[in-house]
Amino acid sequence: MAYAIEAQGLRKTFKHHEAVRGVDLTIRQGELFALLGPNGAGKSTTIHMLTTLVRPDGGTASVCGYDVVKQAAAVRERISVTGQYAALDESLTGWQNLLLFAGLHGYSGKEARGLAEELLDSFHLADASHRPVSTYSGGMRRRMDLAVGTLSQPEVMFLDEPTTGLDPQSRLELWQSVRQLVKQGTTVLLTTQYLEEADQLADRIGFITQGRVIAVDTPEQLKEANGGKKLTIRLSEGAKAESAKIRQLLFSKYGLPIQSDYEERVISVRLQEPALAHSIIGTFMEQSIGFEDFALHDPTLDDVYFALTANGEKEVVL
Ligand SMILES: Nc1ncnc2c1ncn2[C@@H]1O[C@H](COP(=O)(O)OP(=O)(O)OP(=O)(O)O)[C@@H](O)[C@H]1O
Ligand SMILES: [Mg+2]
């Protein structure tokens, strides 16, 4: 099978700091892969090496079959990176920017106009097409970046934290645009700090921390294997004093360790088997333990992060 991106043992050290410590990745053509990790995990440095902007200190990587060091020019011809090459001209309108960049990519005036119209439509920017980019919101600007990025017809697009700083609505709109790119056959590698984003968009997630990819899996499996569901129960004011007793009860009956907040009012347990929630709530009612509400939800990035790091550094490759 042809891989769009392949990396083996990729490393980068800045002065004495090992930013990337042996990253292995294989990303299929047409796949949407999310590199998920906290601040300083090595996401951007990995992207910079794969996009030929930073030279690796060790390991190898290829994009579209071309080596990122020895065949950097061939790689650059086939990729686009948001925020890097799409240096939008603030004083020009969206429409003018697209015409300008289309011209730079060798399209004739007529082709450029047709393409600009198409892109403004599909990236939901038609209404703002005749306003200077300097007046665009953060979300519109990111979509404009993506639109310009597609002009070179890249086989692989790299999006480094495309939604950081966007409000929920703009984030949803950007997700739509990213999904559309993938539908058209583009391979996308995006980085994010949000589990929800990776969950919503990605075919597979690589979880990166401290310069190493410690798990690669589908969103469902990553969450199931490392977070399960989380049951959170808010105790009533009266039951708060009994939290030690409740802790013991849950541990002896279900073998579940409890996490609780600093006031011991909100307790939560990780459930590999979500149906157990019924039984736990039943036990609370039988024993007349007062609670105000409860919720069963997916693990957060923190939950997966703690579960993965608590289990030691293991790699789960599909
Ligand atoms: N040019 C540089 N010089 C020195 N240290 C660097 C440089 N670039 C990155 N680092 C360090 O390498 C580590 C990884 O940085 P990187 O930018 O790859 O993380 P990241 O996962 O993209 O984080 P964020 O989510 O904050 O963007 C960090 O500790 C960072 O301080
Ligand atoms: Mg970064």
* Cα–Cα distance measured from residue 58 to residue 76, given in angstroms and rounded to the nearest whole number: 20
Which residues are placed with Cβ below 5 angstroms of ligand 2, an ion?
43-44
Q: Are strands 187-192 and 32-36 parallel, antiparallel or unpaired?
A: parallel
Nearest Cα to Cα of residue 59 among 205, 212, 207: 212
Collapsed DSSP state (helix, strand, coil) of residue 169: helix
Nearest CA to ligand 1 atom 11: 19
Q: Which ligand is nearest to the CA of 159?
A: 2
Q: Report the separation in Å between the CA atom of 195 and the middle of ligand 2, taken as the mean of its atom positions.
A: 15
Indicate if ligand 1 lies below 6 Å from the C-beta of 37.
yes
Which atom of ligand 1 is nearest to 37's Cα?
Answer: 21
For residue 291, what are the contacts with CB-CB under 8 A and spacing of at least 6? 233, 234, 235, 236, 239, 284
Q: Are the CB atoms for 148 and 93 separated by under 8 Å?
A: no
CA angle 270, 271, 272 (to 5 degrees): 120
Which ligand has an atom closest to residue 35 CA?
Answer: 1
Residue nearest to atom 28 of ligand 1 (CA): 40
Residue type, 27: I
Residue 315 neighbours by CB under 8 Å, 6+ apart? 213, 214, 215, 216
Distance from the alpha carbon of residue 242 to the mean position of ligand 2, in angstroms:
44
Contacts of 91 (CB under 8 A, 6+ apart): 132, 133, 134
Tokens of 121: 């439509």
Cβ of 219 closer than 6 Å to ligand 1, yes or no, is no
Q: How close is the Cα of 18 to the center of ligand 1, in Å?
A: 10
The number of CA neighbours under 13 Å toward the Cβ of 243 is 19
The residue to mutate among 17, 53, 54, 214, having the most atoms of ligand 1 within 8 angstroms of its beta carbon, is: 17
Beta strands in the chain, from DSSP E residues, in sequence order = 3-14, 17-28, 32-36, 58-63, 66-67, 79-81, 156-160, 187-192, 204-209, 212-217, 229-235, 259-260, 266-271, 291-297
Q: Whose CA is nearest to atom 6 of ligand 1?
A: 14
CA-closest residue to ligand 1 atom 30: 40
Q: Residue 90 C-alpha to ligand 2 middle, in angstroms? A: 24
Reading the chain (318 residues) residue by residue, the pLDDT tens digits are 579 999 999 999 999 899 999 999 999 999 999 999 989 999 999 999 999 999 999 999 999 999 999 999 999 999 999 854 457 899 999 999 999 999 999 999 999 999 999 999 989 999 999 999 999 988 899 899 999 999 989 999 999 999 888 888 889 988 999 999 999 999 999 999 888 899 899 999 999 999 999 999 998 888 777 777 888 899 998 887 787 888 888 888 888 777 776 667 888 888 878 888 999 999 999 988 899 999 998 877 667 777 777 654 443 333
Query: What's residue 51's pLDDT?
Result: 96
**Backbone dihedral angles phi then psi of residue 245, each to the nearest 5 degrees:** -65, -40
